[in-house]
A and B are shown apart, each in its own frame.
Chain A
Amino acid sequence: MWEYAPAPESRDIANLKPNYRMFVDGEFVEGGGEPLKSVNPGTGEVLAEVSTAAPADVDRAVKAARRAYDRVWGRMPGAERAKYIFRIARLIQERGRELAVLESLDNGKPIKESRDVDVPTAAAHFFYHAGWADKLGYAGYGPDPRPLGVAGQVIPWNFPLLMAAWKIAPALACGNTVVLKPAETTPLTALVLAEIIQQAELPPGVVNILPGAGDVGAAVVAHPDVDKVAFTGSTEVGKLIQRQLAGTGKKLTLELGGKAANIVFDDAPLDQAVEGIVNGIFFNQGHVCCAGSRLLVQESVAEELLDKLRTRVSTLRVGDPLDKNTDVGAINSAEQLARIQELTASGEAEGAQRWTSSCPLPDKGFYFAPTVFSNVSQAMRIAREEIFGPVLSVLTFRTPDEAVAKANNTPYGLSAGVWTEKGSRILWAAQKMRAGVVWANTFNRFDPTAPFGGYQESGFGREGGRTGLEAYLDV
């Protein structure tokens, strides 16, 4: 293994402030809730104090969003809305380094991912949707599809800025105004995005950002003057929200958990497949709802593939998220680390064979060494439950039919992968797998033009593409 000298990105670039405030009606204001402390999971130290919303603040924000919708944004010509959204895209690009470093500090993801994936893809989402704002009549929802009104949006901590972009960009393009709650552990980049929205001179109230814990999200979702709810997070909370909205008539889209199967057939290019498997489960520490967390390998190549996989995984560098050579960063929180530890312990207890990379881990912060379980059976918790960490469960199969049956043996249905050189088998497997995204000979690709979202208990509605606009239109 190569030795690398430390190559840390400077944390000064993040322009970290000791205090952050919520963003309501175009202004940064103190919230009435108990301030939260956002922690740097790479070190365990407090990064900043962030004000949170009390119920009265949620009401203020929704009222501001309603006013902005009624008076300005809902009636503004699409071509004008578009220019505001293009501005946001450009400002994200201009402040890209700052956002990337801040994201890695607050979330724990490696700087090379925040720099090369999160931030550029966030900008791309605004750029893409800006162009739709004055072309909605061509989207297939009738000549003049109308917005819904005020959108209440709740997003998770795994891609804080990117999820904000996925939510805000289509909402604005379609003419809605927004009240967004970022995750409790990762509120900082969303509040810098609020600064960007100020710099872009969006009319006050069009976007409001309310940090806080689950209670703030619940208040946003339940507010009677919210017309549309969009949630990305766990299936458990998604079900609560769907239940809560029953009978209200609010439009709902959910992007929930997953337990994706990544199928490797015996004719797959194994070295490429290994890269894809690694990307599928160790990208973003495995904090990815569409992570390829169940590897299904054809029995005849299982041993060879596992050897190659372990060799490759043992070269992954786990550590300082700000180091440009880091492959796997910090687990987002102590709570999440405990959950990963609990589930991996269950894997051992249920008889799966555990292999964990012997890579060194930092003394401080929350880290978990990449782990691969083999001899996993379908009934084990590590094959059924979303671990949301750098832990891969390996199962085997003999025939293509068995592979697909195992892949589909889950209440989830967000994503799937297939590795084979045979074109007809790719298309067959892609057809048979009940999942919203199928990556063939690749994994974890995202693009604003490509709809993303789940089957079954992975949620409903799509984000991205023409299909994704439906979530924010009254159709």
Chain B
Amino acid sequence: MSENRIGVAKTYKLYIGGAFPRSESGRSYPVSDAKGAFLANAAQGSRKDARDAVAAARKAFPGWSGATAYNRGQVLYRVAEVLEGRREQFAAEVAAAEGVALKKAQQLVDAAVDRWVWYAGWTDKVATVLGAANPVAGPYFSFSVPEPTGVVAVLAPQQSSLLGLVSAVAPVVATGNTAVVVASADRPLPAVTLSEVLATSDVPGGVVNVLTGRTEEIAPWLASHADVNALDLTGAPEALRAELERSAAGTVKRVLRPRPSEDYLREPDLGRLRAFVESKTVWHPVGT
């Protein structure tokens, strides 16, 4: 083989319904590394792409939310397995995107893999921890279980291109929701590679859909979309947050507001799991 082999550059595309289409708008935008050097062109997702992604997420919802928690746990654990095998690739991408040293990038990738494992283990425990048998004052059996909210639009963190992304997406799908994710606008490449991992690790198409592009362009369509049930504002540009919340009110969406600062390297609490579940209470009489 030649010493000067020319590398094969990847085309970075959207991930919708299990497929990798280009943006229907035909647009792309250049992505640079932290020092400003060109890395690749990413697809610049449009309103139509966002709507396609919502339709794909809705279509996937009955199957994914209806799967057993054990099954979801196995699928999410499988994601961690496949991620593990691509640690070097992700470390290089994260280092380029975030401008951190390779060693730091490796630490972030390891934490992202471990985060998947952590959330994979939660799938069949959430109902035990958040649910209840309700000791009502009468001859009834009453129990409450958490159920997934539905289709969740996730505006992924702008800074933490992989660990932050995983920390936002994994809890959404762990509880049985399906997701439309808008990747970090300036650091989208690890998200596209993560899509490739999802596509090859038993996650049904449509459960996670990933859009790249300008967050401020795509987010308003998701915030006002009637078939989106919830909105994670973590990566929303600050100037846009209030407007997105106002749009979300149009169909009473659940809105997760960003925390003032989030250290993604720390073990999370249950906040993100609780944010996108609905408690359902069932009653039945007791009698002979």
- Residues of A participating in the B interface, judged by any CB pair closer than 8 Å: 124, 140, 142, 235, 238-240, 242-243, 245-247, 249, 254, 256, 411, 426, 430, 435-442, 445, 447, 449-453, 455-460, 462, 465-467, 470, 475
Contacts and interface: CB of A to CB of B under 8 A. Distances in A.
B274 A470 contact: yes
A181 B269 CA distance: 34
A245 to B, nearest CB: 8
B134 A447 contact: yes
Given A436-B279, A442-B140, A247 B284 contact: no
20 contacts: A140-B129, A235-B252, A242-B245, A246-B245, A246-B246, A247-B243, A411-B251, A437-B281, A438-B280, A442-B283, A445-B136, A445-B138, A447-B138, A449-B135, A450-B142, A451-B279, A453-B279, A459-B252, A465-B132, A475-B271
B67 interface: no
B144 interface: yes
Given A436-B281, A440-B282, A440-B284, A457 B130 contact: no
Interface residues of B, number: 38
A235 B252 CA distance: 8
A439 B283 contact: yes
A31 to B, nearest CB: 30
A447 B133 CA distance: 12
A456 B229 contact: yes
B278 interface: yes
A325 B271 CA distance: 49
Contact of B130 (A140, A256, A449): A140
Contacts of B243: 246-247
A460 B230 CA distance: 11
B145 to A, nearest CB: 9
Contacts of B138: 445, 447
B7 to A, nearest CB: 46
B252 A442 contact: no
Given A140-B129, A436-B281, A450-B142, A457 B242 contact: no
Given A247-B241, A450-B142, A467-B144, A456 B281 contact: no
A426 B254 contact: no
A452 B130 CA distance: 14
B245 A460 contact: no
B285 A442 contact: yes
A123 B285 CA distance: 23
A452 B251 contact: no
Contacts of A465: 132, 134, 144, 279, 281
If over half of A's interface residues share one DSSP class (helix, strand or loop), that class is named, otherwise mixed; here it is mixed
B108 interface: no
If over half of B's interface residues share one DSSP class (helix, strand or loop), that class is named, otherwise mixed; here it is mixed
B238 to A, nearest CB: 10
Contacts of B137: 124, 447, 449
Contacts of B229: 456
A459 B129 CA distance: 23
Given A247-B241, A247-B242, A447-B142, A142 B269 contact: yes
B250 interface: yes
B281 A452 contact: yes
A206 B141 CA distance: 36
A445 B140 contact: yes
Given A430-B282, A437-B280, A453-B279, A239 B142 contact: no
Interface in B225-280: 229, 241-246, 248-252, 254, 257, 269-271, 274, 278-280
B171 to A, nearest CB: 15
A245 B246 CA distance: 8
B252 A435 contact: no
Interface string B123-151: 00000011010111110101010000100
Contacts of A411: 251
Contact of A457 (B132, B142, B251, B281): B251
Nearest to A243: B249
Given A246-B242, A466-B132, A470-B274, A440 B283 contact: yes
Nearest to A452: B281
Contacts of A458: 252
A307 B136 CA distance: 34
A249 B245 CA distance: 10
A266 B283 CA distance: 20
A460 B253 CA distance: 8
B11 to A, nearest CB: 38
A430 B119 CA distance: 26
Contacts of A254: 252
A460 B150 CA distance: 13
B134 A449 contact: yes
A457 B144 contact: no
A116 to B, nearest CB: 12
Best-surrounded residue of B138, B142, B248, B278 (most CB of chain A within 10 A): B278
A426 B142 contact: no
Closest 9 CB pairs of A and B: A247-B242, A246-B245, A242-B249, A447-B136, A450-B134, A243-B249, A246-B246, A449-B134, A440-B284
Contacts of A437: 280-283
A397 to B, nearest CB: 19
